[in-house]
Structure formats: structure tokens, C-alpha cells
Amino acid sequence: MSGLKTTNNIRCLKLTIAEPFPRVVKVRRVEKDGAVYFGPYFPASLANRTSDLISREFRLRPCSNEVF
């Protein structure tokens, strides 16, 4: 086994551009779903800070489709 850490804490940011009102979501895996992905961010706290900054500056919605 190598000395590398697992990637559980490495996160990407997903920008859901296909939705009428886009949002930023923190995800662990990149999928082919039409969204734009940024990252990976290491440590994960950097993804959290970046997500907060983007949401605040661009006024993106923080809730999911079920709540919205």
C-alpha cells in the first residue's frame, strides 16, 4: 500500500448550469451530467471556503431542487 491518503476529503465544486437557477454543490465524484466541475480541492476546507465565496458573490441559491 502506498503512503497516499484516501481521496475521501478531496472535493470538487459542481456548478449546475443546466438548472434554471444554478447552484454550487460540493461533490466527491465528477459525473457526466452537463454540469461544470472545478477542483479537486485539497484540503476539503478550501472547497468549503470557495463555495461560500462563490455563493455569496454571485448570489446563487443554496437549496436543493426539492426545497426550491
Give me the pLDDT at residue 5, please. Answer: 55
Give me the pLDDT at residue 4, please. Answer: 53
| 5-56 per-position pLDDT tens digit | 555 566 899 999 988 888 899 999 999 999 999 999 888 889 999 989 998 8
Cβ atoms of 19 and 46 within 8 Å: the answer is no
For residue 1, is pLDDT > 50? Answer: no
Is the whole-model pTM more than 0.85? no
C-alpha closest to that of 17 among 52, 54, 56, 46: 54
61 vs 56, more confident: 56
